[in-house]
Amino acid sequence: MSTAPAPQTVHIALGERAYDIVIGHQLLEGMGQRLKTMFPGARFGVITDTNLEKTQWPRLQTSLTKAGLDHTLITVPAGESSKSMDRLEECVNAILQARLERSDIIIAFGGGVIGDLAGFAAAITRRGMAFVQVPTSLLAQVDSSVGGKTGINSRFGKNLIGAFHQPALVIADLDVYATLPERQFAAGYAEMAKYGLIDDEAFFFWLEEHLDEILSGGPARAEAIARACAAKARFVIADERESGVRALLNLGHTFGHALETATGYSDRLLHGEGVAIGMVLAHQFSATKGLCTSQEGVRVRRHLQRAGLPTSLNDIPGPLPSTDELMHNIAQDKKVRRGALNFILTRGIGKSFIATDISADDIADFLRDIRSS
């Protein structure tokens, strides 16, 4: 029997809210004992989705049971539509019905949807319960499970209802990819590439060189995830509540969220796919402003295409949303400040910056040009 490589740990240094991200293989098998040691006497509420209940839950369930931990399973339908007020109420009611107390622990066992939903349920139930993130998708492992953003969607836009609530621990088991669809892995890769595009061209170059190994599950995959988590940690530590530099993590997200809203948070467009298109659009728009060369946008697009991601509006199946609809969605984005559009633009790969007071007319004209080209 082969021995798994030693796990890697990334520390999020936030004072009394500090926690570790543990990255490695076969972590679910030892998780019950880890939780028993870390939270003596606690009971656990596990929130997951219908897909994971069938595929990965048995591993975690066995671990919790072997450690003698009292646990309750709460299952919601798989998909972005579960980030809703109705599902949030279901989760809160299930926690209360199980008589879980404020000193007990919620486990978010799933991808970004479950992490956001379960984290928000933990944040508001009994005025705040501790929770543990166990991300089961690449997107969740390198992005949404780290940093304390929790929440649900509204018909007015994505992630408009939520709270900052840091997890007590993040466990990123790399073996979950055995049951993760290729499309979901690719969607997570967009968030990984984002860290290079923000302020680390060397990392983006490294990703270009090692993409095949990352996609195939070679040693570069674990290294890439650890480097991405360390990048996210750096921004979270510097700006926990996104009042400044952490906003750079939204590269591609203003366009991406608008597209997700327009497509009804459906399987037509996964979150990471929207971000991939959004990052290409951000580079293209920056080029129209003379901030970077058009070739840099081409480089970004080609790399994301190699990873199996959509990179243009025309790659979205079904009817395209109108420019007016996209602009309406953009105006609802959380990054709007007193009516002014704030975008993350770039002066080149690894040179992103926060641009304020962007003209809505300029964005609309750019989108019309893109659609007609």
Architecture, CATH, for domain 8-179: 3-Layer(aba) Sandwich (3.40)
With 90 as the cut, is the pLDDT of residue 336 above it? no
- Give the contacts of 195 (CB within 8 A, at least 6 positions apart): 142, 203, 227, 228, 231, 232
**303 catalytic, yes or no?**
no
CA nearest 45: which of 112, 111, 113, 121? Answer: 121
Judge contact between 265 and 158, C-beta under 8 A: yes
With 80 as the cut, is the pLDDT of residue 3 above it? no
How confident is the model at residue 128, as a pLDDT? 98
Dump pLDDT digits (tens) for 195-227.
Answer: 999 999 999 999 999 999 999 999 999 999 999
**127 catalytic, yes or no?**
yes
Q: What span, in angstroms and rounded, lies between the C-alpha atoms of 321 and 343?
A: 20
Handedness of CA 170, 174, 175, 178 (dihedral sign): positive
**149 catalytic, yes or no?**
yes
Edge-to-edge strands, sheet with 44-49 = 8-12, 19-24, 169-173, 130-135, 105-110, 44-49, 71-76
* Distance, CA of 210 to chain centre: 22
Picking from 141-150, 182-191, 212-221, 356-365, which range would have the lowest pLDDT averaged per residue?
Answer: 356-365
- Looking at residue 337, what DSSP letter applies? B
The pTM assigned to this predicted structure is 0.92
With 90 as the cut, is the pLDDT of residue 347 above it? yes
Residue range 275-294: mean pLDDT, rounded: 98
**What distances in angstroms separate CA 1 from CA 4, 25, 29, 71, 290, one per listed residue?**
9, 14, 15, 30, 57
Dump pLDDT digits (tens) for 7-54.
Answer: 999 999 999 999 999 999 999 999 999 999 999 999 999 999 999 999
**351 catalytic, yes or no?**
no
Residue range 246-264: mean pLDDT, rounded: 95
How confident is the model at residue 172, as a pLDDT? 98
Kindly report the CA angle at 19 between 189 and 159, in degrees rounded to 5?
50
Handedness of CA 358, 373, 264, 137 (dihedral sign): negative
Other beta carbons less than 10 A from residue 292's beta carbon = 23
Q: What percent of the chain has pLDDT over 90?
A: 90
pLDDT band at 363 (very low <50, low <70, confident <90, very high): very high
Residue range 320-325: mean pLDDT, rounded: 93
Q: Among 83, 87, 158, 253, which one carries the catalytic annotation?
A: 253
How confident is the model at residue 334, as a pLDDT? 57
Q: What span, in angstroms and rounded, lies between the C-alpha atoms of 150 and 164?
A: 6
Write the burial class of residue 196 (CB in 10 Å: 0-12 exposed, 13-18 middle, 19+ buried).
Answer: buried
Sequence ranges of the domains in the chain: 8-179, 182-372
Q: Among 80, 90, 191, 273, which one carries the catalytic annotation?
A: 191
pLDDT band at 1 (very low <50, low <70, confident <90, very high): very low
**253 catalytic, yes or no?**
yes
Dump pLDDT digits (tens) for 52-92.
Answer: 999 999 999 999 999 999 999 999 999 999 999 999 999 99
How confident is the model at residue 356, as a pLDDT? 87
Dump pLDDT digits (tens) for 88-112.
Answer: 999 999 999 999 999 999 999 999 9
**257 catalytic, yes or no?**
yes
Judge contact between 255 and 278, C-beta under 8 A: yes
How confident is the model at residue 339, as a pLDDT? 58
Q: Among 53, 80, 90, 242, which one carries the catalytic annotation?
A: 242
- Give the contacts of 349 (CB within 8 A, at least 6 positions apart): 196, 197, 201, 204, 296, 299, 300
Handedness of CA 206, 209, 213, 219 (dihedral sign): negative
Residue 314 CB-half CA count within 13 A: 5
How confident is the model at residue 17, as a pLDDT? 96
**334 catalytic, yes or no?**
no
**54 catalytic, yes or no?**
no
CA nearest 326: which of 337, 338, 341? Answer: 341
Q: Among 149, 158, 165, 335, which one carries the catalytic annotation?
A: 149
Q: Among 83, 246, 301, 335, which one carries the catalytic annotation?
A: 246
The CATH code of the domain at 182-372 is 1.20.1090.10
